[in-house]
Amino acid sequence: MMSFGGGLAAWIRREVVQRRAWLDDQQFLSGYALSQLVPGATNVNLSVFIGAQLRGILGAIAAVAGLTALPVVIVLLLGALYLHKSGLPGGGAVGGALAGMGAVAIGLNLGTGIRLGRVHLRRLIPLAICLVIALAIGVLGFPLLHVLAVMLPVSLALTWLGQRA
């Protein structure tokens, strides 16, 4: 699977939810949240979740292998090239193209957030929780562990109170 920089989750959602309908948005989001709560690379965790959901432990192994096999080979080749030549070929042109793709990959992440937000954040309190987390980690640079330690209980409490009201 081809995927650059930070756009991988966006890509997975597009393939698994929008195109193949293996999961619905709610299942995907719940799996994505679980993937971020459990330590490890979020996208690899997500592929374990999706694979396990579809085909149990073999599905999980197949999903991880499918997600990482080709990238591992590519990274190994780039690494061999790098260690051999002590630098990557192409110089500035390759750097510029990579910078452009990186900029787009960031946009894919933000675009996914907006897409999901339009569907799932129709009320004020969930929207506020979402924005506080995005700003605290993304702009102010607070550690994820600290933000989750505060915002998870807050979100749970407010959701619970909202249900009772």
Query: What residues between 84 and 143 interact with other proteins by CB under 8 A?
Result: 88, 93, 96-118, 120-121, 126-127, 129-139, 141
- C-alpha–C-alpha distance, residues 46 and 112, integer Å: 15
Q: In angstroms, what is the minimal distance from the CB of 74 to other proteins?
A: 5
Q: In angstroms, what is the minimal distance from the CB of 22 to other proteins?
A: 15
Cα dihedral 154, 157, 159, 164, rounded to 10, equals -160
Among 24, 82, 90, 150, binds other proteins (CB under 8 A): 82
Report if residue 160 touches other proteins, rule: CB under 8 A. yes
Burial class (CB in 10 A: 0-12, 13-18, 19+), 78: exposed
CA dist 97 to 1, 22, 101, Å? 20, 34, 6
User: Cβ closer to other proteins: 21 or 163?
Assistant: 163
Q: In angstroms, what is the minimal distance from the CB of 162 to other proteins?
A: 9
Helix (H, G, I), strand (E, B) or coil at 159: helix
Closest-CA residue to 9 (of 24, 34, 28): 28
The one-letter amino acid code at 141 reads: G
User: Cβ closer to other proteins: 22 or 131?
Assistant: 131
Site residues (CB under 8 A) for other proteins, limited to 5-24: 5-11, 14
Number of residues that bind other proteins (CB under 8 A): 102
- For 22, phi and psi rounded to 5 degrees? -70, -35
Report if residue 57 touches other proteins, rule: CB under 8 A. yes
Among 33, 55, 58, 150, binds other proteins (CB under 8 A): 33
Report if residue 54 touches other proteins, rule: CB under 8 A. no
